[in-house]
Amino acid sequence: MASANQSNWLGRVGFNVAKTSASDEIATLNLTGLNPGTTYVVSFDLLIGASWDGAAGGYGPDSWRLTANGTTLVDTIFSDYNGHNLGAGGAQRYSDTTYTNPNGPDQAYFAGAEFNVSDTSGYAGDYAIYYFSHGSGNPVLTFTPDGSGNVSLVFARYSGSTDSADEYWALDNVVVSAIPEPAAFGSLAGLLALGVVLQRRRRART
């Protein structure tokens, strides 16, 4: 890859892929060499695109989760439906304060989004971008590595039903930082080598 200071876009995950109750869409980032017992923050931008139907029965729920070594950091449901056509139109469950409760309360579509676009001609151009661990009022997501210093971050869309193949999601600006942050590691391009960098630094101190 190129410079660690560049941002790598991961998407459009799931676009033109048939959705079924067994077709999870998963992106995994495995980190090694982290400091056990140290708190880390994971920040990123999440794009939710096309006909996400929220908690609608039959078409949804359109769920999205993030876990760190199996511990849930985000568990929520998104909706891009704004009533401009005859889709299912289910409630969103995400807001900046309800991002770990897929059971409610109901939220308006695009709730908590930093940016959103609604294409009045149909679903195809609908999308919203949500910030995590950066920007005013947004959720701050943290995890602590176990004694191995290894962490598996699993970003995933889960479908509870057969649904439209147009729905997709994407990640950008993924950054993992220690608290207190020892150095800036850039975004996803450099993050893939994060474990090696940290291991080298630890060895240099011994």
pLDDT value of residue 180:
79
Q: What digits encode the pLDDT tens for the residues 17-38?
A: 666 666 678 899 999 999 999 9
Q: Return the amino acid letter for 61.
A: P
pLDDT value of residue 188:
45
- Give the architecture (CATH level 2) of 10-205: Sandwich (2.60)
Cβ proximity of 128 and 118 under 8 Å: no
What are the CA-CA distances from residue 116 to residues 110, 130, 140 (Å)?
A: 7, 9, 21
Backbone phi, psi, residue 203, to 5°: -65, -35
pLDDT value of residue 170:
93
The pTM assigned to this predicted structure is 0.78
- Distance separating alpha carbons of residues 131 and 12, to the nearest angstrom: 17
Low-confidence ranges of the chain (pLDDT < 50): 1-6, 84-86, 183-206
pLDDT value of residue 202:
39
- Distance separating alpha carbons of residues 91 and 108, to the nearest angstrom: 6
Cβ proximity of 33 and 199 under 8 Å: yes
